[in-house]
Amino acid sequence: MIGLMRASETGWLRALRTYAIFTVIGHLIWEIGHVPLYTIWTEGSWGEIAFAVVHCTGGDLLIAMSTLLLALFLFGSNRWPGERAAPILVATILFGVGYTIFSEWLNITVREAWAYREIMPVIPIIDAGLTPILQWLIIPTVAYLGALRQGPGAGRAEHA
């Protein structure tokens, strides 16, 4: 993964690329792991399940990059990721969780595009599945911490 990064890249570009890589891998694993909690697992064909996993992972990447960029626009500085890392992470997570709550409501209640199985743990106050909320707490945090490791100062020894 690190081999994909060029030594001449600036800290923010390296951090964004690393965030995207961690995001795709993390969300793909998560989608595979929690698809059995949705009715597609028992009602869909293997092709439909595979398509749903790939489609949702692609959507997750778009959401993750959009929430990070929105956080950077609102709270970042030109020295990110070396500065203001914590406020950016918190905002990214809040935007991601907020969007997830809205999306789960829209697609389950309004559009009826997907449904939970009875084994999906649901958070009563917001009526959203526990695993989608945990997904948007855990994956962006891990991806962001991985990205910070690739920011300014990362790999300086290799340039010395």
Nearest-10 crossing angle of helices 46-75, 85-105: 140
For residue 154, what pLDDT band results from cuts at 50, 70 and 90? low
What are the tens digits of pLDDT across the range 33-45? 999 999 999 999 9
- The full set of domain ranges for the chain reads 10-155
Q: Tell which phi-psi region holds residue 10, choosing left (phi > 0), alpha (psi between -120 and 50) or beta.
A: beta
Report residue 41 as tokens: 């697992």
What are the tens digits of pLDDT across the range 106-133? 999 999 999 999 999 999 999 999 999 9
Of 68-72, 97-101, 154-158, least confident by mean pLDDT is 154-158
